[in-house]
């Protein structure tokens, strides 16, 4: 865990999980330390240049992330995180368009199910699931198991041009509400 020099914390939601990025910047020592989910990925001590950038990867897909360090006045600094070449906000907004996420409890365990709409890959708690897809009258169904439970992600036309296709998750036939992350 980072101590005294912690200056920024970000949450990065990927298909295989939500990653916590912590950045410590010692403005008197020039130290830079980056942790991802508590694991140190970068440590630089005694850097004479206090501004610049640090690049590392996040998640099993090795998604590129860069922290930018900029002086805004005197000894004040601004820290921004870019993921996959986009600001964190833009990256998050883009992922919201290409993925759908559900948070649910299965047998008392928290599960985060993510559908990648472009590939139809399904992830649960960091594991890519074995799925079986089929075409049905009103769209497609992607079937997979969570433990002993049958799951199905249905994709169907919303009937409206602007919203296009809607996806919903069924756990043992019961509809699960979608999550915002």
Domain count, the chain: 2
Summarised one tens digit per residue, pLDDT across range 52-85 is: 999 999 999 999 999 999 999 877 899 999 999 9
The domain in which residue 79 lies consists of 6-84
pTM reported for the whole predicted model: 0.84
Residues 124 and 150 in one domain: yes
Q: What are phi and psi of 107, to 5 degrees?
A: 50, 45
In a domain, 70, yes or no: yes
Of residues 135, 138, 141, the one with CA closest to residue 157 = 138
């Amino acid at each position: 865990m980072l101590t005294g020099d912690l200056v920024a914390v970000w949450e990065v939601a990927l298909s295989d999980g939500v990653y916590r990025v912590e950045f410590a910047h010692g403005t008197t020592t020039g130290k830079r330390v980056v942790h991802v989910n508590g694991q140190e990925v970068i440590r630089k001590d005694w850097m004479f240049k206090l501004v610049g950038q640090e690049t590392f990867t996040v998640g099993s897909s090795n998604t590129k992330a860069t922290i930018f360090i900029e002086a805004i006045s005197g000894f004040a600094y601004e820290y921004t995180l870019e993921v996959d070449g986009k600001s964190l906000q833009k990256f998050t907004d883009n992922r919201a368009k290409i993925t759908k996420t559900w948070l649910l409890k299965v047998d008392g365990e928290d599960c985060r199910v993510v559908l990648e709409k472009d590939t139809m890959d399904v992830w649960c708690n960091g594991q890519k699931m074995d799925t079986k897809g089929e075409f049905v009258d009103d769209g497609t169904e992607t079937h997979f198991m969570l433990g002993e439970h049958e799951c199905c992600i249905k994709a169907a036309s919303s009937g409206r041009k602007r919203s296009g296709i809607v996806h919903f998750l069924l756990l043992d036939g019961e509809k699960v509400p979608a999550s915002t992350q």
